[in-house]
């Protein structure tokens, strides 16, 4: 093979040789079969009962949360929601293979990773109700989480921006001598943004210990993958950047775990990025603003329902005797109740007081923002009925 | 005439344009079969085929790069940016390329057949990434035209004019009004002039100037002020670039007062340009300082959206400040 | 003290910052071994190693994305954009990310340790892609600070303050002065305040306001005006965002007149914000309309650069228009 | 192989399989050896004597032009210049394989393609002196050519922007039913821009008949290729986009010709993009503002001098008897004289009159630009000495 990142001599051919996508085969790692059994020639990663059950329960919790919050949105209790149904194994399995010191930079469909890190039901609720208890101070739309203490970077809506950012963050970790990597999640749609290209190329050239984790779930809102790219998925791009790449069955949590574990090991040992493409399917609508019936068939959805990642791990755990299937319903019921209780409790928590409107624009509010706040407060005091969320708390 | 909401008016304009000229093509994220996340491009793919109305990959810089190339070839390119908040990855293609294409080539080449459609503005609980009003970022860019309609009738006529104008036009659609604003719209093809403001209501004490969704607010505030005996002249600027200094200046010379309002942050917003120009043109006529009632100098908030918005009460207060100066 | 040109002053500031804090990193296109196309980063790689001063691939959006991530991690990121004309591919990373990082996370995370250095401005026969002054594009963006030095002394002190300020700063360097402006600069570390304008010369008849390379022009025009008996107060704004309204307003209340000048096109330039604000603050003090002497509303020309520039003659004419109003 | 642009089933492996750049070999097409002889197993493209000599003379002309204009810049007669020394075969060879109807969107180092299309010495001079005879009206820095009648799009300085533009242009050609493609030239440095990613991906997905021609000349100003990317050159990226790709010896004009001919054939027949990576070396400084002695060795340069593409074709032509080597010096001398004569003549041509300062910003100058022009003219009339280029021609 030829490295063309130098100017040395290079092998020649004397007839046109077209390189086309057919030349490389990028199969997908699968350890656990759709029925929950392990491939006979697969090496199971070392996973304790405690960890396996935690992975399972986290997926179940997320499934419950997603269902309840979609319903809550329909009832008008929150303005927006976005479920990860069908893709829980991708985010939970990858998060499980990380260290808590690793930074997570996510897109928006990785609630599983966040829950795995320990984000509580109450924290989820606070964020979705944009209330004053939320560390992001109610500034972002529902599902745009962020938690410094969990090393989970606050989510940004503009797609793809976190990709070169992850390269920079990882570079900083390396310079600081931390034994930590940055994992960056994104969809196959976001991978079309210029920032994807910039981020992966820079990570490769600047030797950044980052894991680029693409959730290829077949759709970007209504746009199917075949209108998004013409190559062999996102994995085939790794080659062009000189980035080691693993394609994995995104609905097989063990495969996801193992790929991520391996990627982390390589990233740290070799100070380099690794690309993972997890093949999965967005069983849910894109978000509560979307209705997929207009752009895909029930048939297609049914095929992927059959590959449900939670069921798959459940089967394995049950066969192993690590869970009692009878407990499942109890756990789900308890989580449903917990979510509903928190929801009811949290929806009464007020939003931040008006003082916060000018905070965090700068490290401290400059004089002009203080002036604008003062004017605003005077105005609210004059028309308290028009600003019910804040008026009662406006101080001099 | 038919009753249409603003989305339907946009859709009707696109159908008109595509029917009349087969070089017209519509593209962007999810605009194909799905008809766009707001459904402004509904049925276009069915009517005109996949080659003329198509989804693009998810890349705004790519969409605008592609659009520039397509327009320079002579096709009529109508590119959608899904939210104005996501136009910034395309900023270079617009500011350095679209706007300078004709100039740099001495008029040999141009992208005059390009129109960029994008929904903008707040009031939909969208927070700082689904609510921005970035008109001022583009208004500092010679070579662009910028147009903002306030209702369905204006939307169809201005969009058709934008598509056919031989200059690149950034057409910003007030998404808060997409379904909320309903009105009579001719089913036939018609155009409204670019670069011309419209006096929506005559008055004698103060001129109120805005565009797009903010026009509703101005009219509401004007009513409040009229109840206090203040006669308001309400103007819809319609075109941000080039803008109609003459209509505004003539009005201000009559009323002696000017208030401008937009949702975008105060500092560096387009109201600043208007104020700077009008204080010069109308120096001897101004009876009070020009008022700007605008968004705060912060990102667009979520929980405090209502407080942030330059609503009719703030505009009303601005009017009273101005007349009581 | 040592005699330095503006490039040397920048280089000296970078050396100071990198020596004092090992978390400081400098990167961008060609800034490594080569020392940057203007040589502002000369010898940094030799002194501090390739890990702390390095070339990036050729991608401004990547540079700024990387810089945002690096700064959010706690490193002190100094990113160079080779020409301000090429900052637009990074517009999204700056406007949507850099500027909103702290806000959207409720202060949990920030990129306060980020500084973006970029050479701007005309007068070097560079045409429309090597001459732009894009400060106004960024000035509409809450969360950013924008700083422009006028000479070597200012450059070193303001750059060090920018690097250490806990907010992202866009530091724009007047490239026309890189070698042309020479002055005494302390070899030691020092900082000059951000957000504060400086009165460069006191006067009583008119206030002249500008920043960066344009300050030279103002001083030259002021001399011409003084010869005609017009006493000019000359102010260097230094920080475009947040800007020092108080110093400017106080001056205008004294002189009764204001002229603002920048190279960027008139429409939507930062002079508009200043004019809009000052006409409000100083309404009863203004004896003539606020004058803006700026670039034309065209791309920056090559063959007609001299004609386009707001030179001392145009500023002088503006002064006389103002005092003879 | 697996296409991941659909959601069908996919082959699996059960152990982690890392895909790394080593897996594909992308050799480089070479037809003519450095000494000018043809590889015995190569198929020579059909090239008439007339065409071969035209290619040769064009390269020679460009070499002369570059030398003279670099000298002219040193003398202060023009403000800027940028030579293509060492890379003449890449632009001339590719242009020769195109139809005149094909649109050329270039970066800035493709004067060879422009000269091949018929741009005259006088036209080159007019552009470099930004004078009133130049169709771009003197608005752009030297070397930013543009010629509508030659289907040569006016060059833009911001790097990479022409890449997605070429996709759009090609799409328009296809829709208009033209039997034409768009060729888009760019450097390996520019290929790091996000626009590269967007442009190639869109061309692949939207089936645009475009040829993306990357000149990999080892440097982007001072930045060597190994600090630009870590993959196997730019060619390896084609795979990721599902774009047929050819790597070619950029100093072998026959290989370049054949690759481009083939690419054009495929692009038109299959309505798809093709990527070509031409391996070459920038023998010149980046531009007259640059001095490469600070960042690369004389040795390295010498190795590439030995591969000079003009010499190579010259040897072949001489061996074939299609040129008389004795004519060479005559031709070069004539061209040198022509360039100098035109230079002297053209440097006296005035720049455009001041009226043009507001033209072409819009289709017709709006009122505010007319007002600004009027003010400017009044001002120039008042201070004619300060504006010597335009003052004498300012009319009322
Ligand atoms: C820059 C930008 N452009 C457009 C959008 C609107 N948008 C939100 S999600 C989405 C689709 C993303 O698809 P993908 O990356 O595949 O992630 P998935 O939703 O499938 O998880 C789009 C177009 C955005 N948020 N940011
Ligand atoms: C967007 C942008 N960034 C930076 C530059 C400055 N610049 C001009 S040429 C160049 C290097 C380009 O290298 P490459 O693409 O390899 O082309 P080559 O000069 O080698 O032919 C740079 C960085 C630019 N013109 N545009
Ligand atoms: Mg997706
Ligand atoms: Mg190169």
pLDDT tens track for D143-192? 999 999 999 999 999 999 999 999 999 999 999 999 999 999 999 999 99
Handedness of CA D79, D85, D90, D94 (dihedral sign): positive
Is residue B320 within 8 Å of B225, Cβ to Cβ?
Answer: yes
Cβ–Cβ gap A139/C106 under 8 Å? yes
Q: Tell me which residues of chain C, numbers 164 to 223, contact chain A at a CB-CB cutoff of 8 Å.
A: 166-167, 195
Q: Among C27, C36, C55, C58, name the best residue to mutate to test ligand 2's pocket (greatest count of ligand atoms within 8 A of Cβ).
A: C58
> What pLDDT, on the 0 to 100 scale, is given for residue D395?
73
Interface probe for D, chosen from A231, A241, A269, A275 (most Cβ of D below 10 Å), is A231
> Any CB–CB contact under 8 A between C65 and chain B?
no
Kindly give the interhelix angle for A253-270 and A49-74, rounded to the nearest 10 degrees: 110
Boundary residue ending a domain (C185, C206, C234): C185
Question: Would A30 be classed as within a structural domain?
Answer: no
Looking at the fold, whether A255 and A365 belong to one and the same domain comes out as: no
Looking at the fold, whether B76 and B208 belong to one and the same domain comes out as: no
> Any CB–CB contact under 8 A between B320 and chain A?
no
Interface probe for B, chosen from C146, C267, C281, C301 (most Cβ of B below 10 Å), is C267
Looking at the fold, whether B92 and B235 belong to one and the same domain comes out as: no
pLDDT in tens, chain B (325 residues): 899 999 999 999 999 999 999 999 999 999 999 999 999 999 999 999 999 999 999 999 999 999 999 999 999 999 999 999 999 999 999 999 999 999 999 999 999 999 999 999 999 999 999 999 999 999 999 999 999 999 999 999 999 999 999 999 999 999 999 999 999 999 999 999 999 999 999 999 999 999 999 999 999 999 999 999 999 999 999 999 999 999 999 999 999 999 999 999 999 999 999 999 999 999 999 999 999 999 999 999 999 999 999 999 999 999 999 999 9
> What pLDDT, on the 0 to 100 scale, is given for residue D396?
63
User: Do the bridges between strand B258-265 and strand B291-295 make them parallel or antiparallel, or are there none, so unpaired?
Assistant: parallel
Count the domains in chain A.
2
Handedness of CA B219, B221, B223, B228 (dihedral sign): negative
Helix boundaries (H) for B49-104: 60-73, 91-92, 101-104
Cβ–Cβ gap A258/D16 under 8 Å? yes
Kindly indicate the confidence band of residue A7, based on its pLDDT and cuts at 50, 70 and 90. Answer: low
Residues 6+ apart with CB under 8 A from A315: A35, A36, A37
Q: What is the pLDDT of residues C29-84, one digit of tens each?
A: 999 999 999 999 999 999 999 999 999 999 999 999 999 999 999 999 999 999 99
Looking at the fold, whether A212 and A248 belong to one and the same domain comes out as: yes
> What pLDDT, on the 0 to 100 scale, is given for residue C60?
98
Is residue D164 within 8 Å of D202, Cβ to Cβ?
Answer: yes
Is residue B237 within 8 Å of B210, Cβ to Cβ?
Answer: yes
Q: Please tell me whether the interface predicted TM-score (ipTM) of this complex is above 0.90.
A: yes
- Give the closest residue to D216 by CA, choosing from D225, D208, D207: D225
Residues 6+ apart with CB under 8 A from A149: none
> What pLDDT, on the 0 to 100 scale, is given for residue B189?
98
Question: In terms of CA atoms, which chain D residue is nearest residue A239?
Answer: D21
Burial tier of D99 (Cβ tally within 10 Å: 0-12, 13-18, 19+)? exposed
Count the domains in chain C.
2
> Any CB–CB contact under 8 A between C283 and chain B?
yes
Distance D99 CA to ligand 4 centre (A): 26
- Where residue C114 sits, what CATH number does that domain have? 3.40.50.970
Burial tier of B193 (Cβ tally within 10 Å: 0-12, 13-18, 19+)? middle
Q: What is the pLDDT of residues C155-177, one digit of tens each?
A: 999 999 999 999 999 999 999 99
- Where residue A75 sits, what CATH number does that domain have? 3.40.50.970
Cβ–Cβ gap B283/C288 under 8 Å? yes
Looking at the fold, whether C117 and C161 belong to one and the same domain comes out as: yes
Looking at the fold, whether D279 and D360 belong to one and the same domain comes out as: no
Looking at the fold, whether D262 and D340 belong to one and the same domain comes out as: yes
- The rounded distance, in Å, linking the Cα atoms of C130 and C175 is 10
Q: For B69-102, b where at least 16 C-beta lie within 10 A, e where not — what string?
A: bbbbbbbbbbbbbbbbbbbbbbbbbbbbbbbbbb
Boundary residue ending a domain (B185, B211, B244): B185
Domain ranges, residue C311: 198-323
Question: Would B191 be classed as within a structural domain?
Answer: no
3-state secondary structure of D16: coil
Question: Would A393 be classed as within a structural domain?
Answer: no
Kindly indicate the confidence band of residue A9, based on its pLDDT and cuts at 50, 70 and 90. Answer: low
Question: Would B50 be classed as within a structural domain?
Answer: yes
pLDDT at D310 over 50: yes
Report the atom number in ligand 1 closest to the C-alpha of A286: 19
Question: Hey, which bits of chain B come out as E strands?
Answer: 2-5, 24-28, 53-55, 76-80, 114-120, 145-147, 169-174, 182-185, 198-201, 206-210, 232-236, 239-241, 258-265, 291-295
Cβ–Cβ gap B86/A158 under 8 Å? yes
Chain D residues with CB-CB distance to B77 below 8 A: 168
Looking at the fold, whether B35 and B151 belong to one and the same domain comes out as: yes
Question: Would B295 be classed as within a structural domain?
Answer: yes
Cβ–Cβ gap A153/C62 under 8 Å? no
Is residue D235 within 8 Å of D26, Cβ to Cβ?
Answer: yes
Question: In terms of CA atoms, which chain D residue is nearest residue C130?
Answer: D157
> Any CB–CB contact under 8 A between B317 and chain A?
yes
Looking at the fold, whether D381 and D320 belong to one and the same domain comes out as: no
Looking at the fold, whether C131 and C155 belong to one and the same domain comes out as: yes
**Does A221 sit in the ligand 1 pocket, CB within 6 Å?**
yes
Distance C21 CA to ligand 3 centre (A): 42
Question: Would D36 be classed as within a structural domain?
Answer: no
Looking at the fold, whether A199 and A318 belong to one and the same domain comes out as: yes
> Any CB–CB contact under 8 A between C34 and chain D?
yes
- The rounded distance, in Å, linking the Cα atoms of C6 and C151 is 6
> What pLDDT, on the 0 to 100 scale, is given for residue D7?
57
Distance D227 CA to ligand 4 centre (A): 12
Task: Kindly list the catalytic residues of B.
Answer: 60, 130
Question: Would D373 be classed as within a structural domain?
Answer: yes
**Does B58 sit in the ligand 1 pocket, CB within 6 Å?**
yes
Domain ranges, residue A359: 354-386
Looking at the fold, whether D251 and D119 belong to one and the same domain comes out as: yes
Boundary residue ending a domain (C185, C214, C248): C185
- Residue whose Cα lies nearest atom 20 of ligand 2: it is D220
Cβ–Cβ gap B283/C289 under 8 Å? yes
Interface probe for A, chosen from B307, B310, B321 (most Cβ of A below 10 Å), is B307
- The rounded distance, in Å, linking the Cα atoms of D349 and D84 is 26
Which H/E stretch holds residue A214?
strand A210-216
| Average pLDDT over chain C, rounded to an integer | 98
Question: Would A24 be classed as within a structural domain?
Answer: no
- The rounded distance, in Å, linking the Cα atoms of B298 and B295 is 8
> What pLDDT, on the 0 to 100 scale, is given for residue A1?
34
Looking at the fold, whether C298 and C248 belong to one and the same domain comes out as: yes
**Does A282 sit in the ligand 1 pocket, CB within 6 Å?**
yes
Looking at the fold, whether B160 and B218 belong to one and the same domain comes out as: no
DSSP string, C251-289: HHHHHS-EEEEEEEESTT-HHHHHHHHHHHHTTTT-SSP
């Amino acid at each position: 093979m030829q490295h063309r990142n130098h100017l040395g001599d290079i092998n020649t051919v004397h007839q046109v040789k077209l390189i086309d996508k057919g030349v490389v085969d990028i199969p997908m790692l699968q350890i656990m079969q759709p029925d929950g059994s392990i491939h006979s020639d697969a090496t199971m990663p070392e996973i304790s009962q405690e960890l396996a059950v935690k992975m399972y329960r986290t997926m179940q919790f997320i499934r419950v949360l997603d269902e309840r919050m979609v319903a809550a949105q329909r009832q008008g209790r929150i303005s927006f929601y976005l479920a990860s149904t069908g893709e829980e194994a991708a985010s939970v399995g990858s998060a499980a293979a990380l260290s808590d010191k690793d930074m997570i930079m996510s897109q928006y469909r990785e609630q599983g990773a966040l829950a795995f890190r320990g984000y509580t039901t109450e924290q989820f609720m606070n964020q979705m109700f944009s209330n004053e208890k939320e560390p992001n101070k109610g500034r972002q739309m529902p599902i745009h989480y962020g938690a410094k203490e969990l090393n989970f970077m606050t989510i940004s809506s503009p797609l793809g921006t976190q990709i070169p950012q992850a390269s920079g963050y990882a570079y900083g970790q390396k310079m600081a001598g931390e034994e930590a990597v940055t994992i960056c999640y994104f969809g196959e749609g976001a991978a079309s943004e210029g920032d994807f290209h910039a981020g992966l190329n820079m990570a490769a050239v600047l030797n950044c210990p980052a894991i680029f984790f693409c959730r290829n779930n077949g759709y970007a809102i209504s746009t199917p993958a075949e209108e998004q790219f013409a190559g062999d998925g996102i994995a085939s791009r790794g080659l062009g950047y000189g980035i080691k790449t693993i394609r994995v069955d995104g609905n097989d949590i063990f495969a996801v775990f193992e790929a991520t574990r391996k990627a982390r090991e390589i990233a740290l040992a070799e100070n380099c990025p690794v690309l993972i493409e997890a093949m999965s399917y967005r069983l849910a609508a894109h978000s509560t603003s979307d209705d997929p019936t207009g752009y895909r068939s029930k048939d297609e959805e049914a095929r992927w329902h059959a590959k449900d990642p939670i069921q798959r791990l459940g089967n394995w755990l049950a066969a192993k005797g690590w869970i009692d299937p009878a407990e499942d319903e109890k756990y789900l019921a308890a989580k449903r109740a917990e979510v509903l209780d928190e929801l009811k409790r949290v929806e009464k928590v007020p939003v931040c007081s008006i003082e916060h409107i000018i905070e965090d624009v700068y490290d401290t509010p400059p004089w002009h923002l203080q002036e604008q706040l003062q004017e605003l407060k005077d105005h609210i005091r004059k028309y308290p009925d028009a600003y019910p969320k804040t008026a009662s708390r406006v101080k001099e | 005439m038919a009753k249409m909401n603003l989305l339907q008016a946009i859709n009707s304009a696109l159908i008109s344009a595509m029917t009349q000229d087969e070089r017209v093509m519509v593209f962007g994220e999810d605009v194909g079969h799905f008809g766009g996340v707001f459904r402004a491009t509904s049925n276009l793919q069915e009517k005109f085929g996949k080659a003329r109305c198509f989804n693009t990959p998810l890349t705004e810089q790519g969409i605008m790069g592609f659009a520039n190339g397509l327009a320079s070839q002579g096709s009529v390119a109508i590119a959608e940016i899904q939210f104005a908040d996501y136009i910034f990855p395309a900023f270079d293609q617009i500011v350095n390329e679209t706007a300078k294409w004709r100039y740099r080539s001495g008029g040999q080449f141009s992208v005059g057949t390009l129109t960029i459609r994008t929904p903008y503005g707040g009031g939909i609980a969208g927070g700082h990434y689904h609510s921005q009003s970035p008109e001022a970022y583009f208004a500092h860019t010679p070579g662009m035209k910028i147009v903002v309609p306030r209702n369905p009738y204006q939307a169809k006529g201005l969009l058709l004019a934008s598509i056919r104008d031989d200059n690149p036009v950034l057409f910003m659609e007030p998404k808060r009004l997409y379904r909320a604003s309903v009105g009579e719209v001719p089913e036939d093809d018609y155009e409204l002039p670019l670069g011309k403001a419209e006096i929506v209501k005559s008055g004698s004490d103060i001129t109120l100037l805005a565009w797009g969704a903010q026009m509703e607010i101005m009219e509401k505030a004007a009513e409040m002020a009229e109840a206090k005996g203040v006669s308001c002249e309400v103007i819809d600027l319609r075109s941000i670039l080039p803008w109609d200094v003459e209509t505004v200046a003539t009005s201000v010379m009559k009323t002696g007062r000017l208030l401008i309002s937009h949702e975008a942050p105060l500092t560096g917003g387009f109201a600043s340009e208007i104020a700077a120009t009008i204080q010069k043109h109308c120096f001897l006529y101004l009876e009070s300082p020009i008022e700007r009632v605008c968004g705060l100098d912060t990102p667009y908030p979520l929980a405090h959206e209502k407080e942030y918005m330059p609503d009719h009460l703030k505009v009303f207060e601005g009017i009273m400040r101005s007349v009581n100066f």
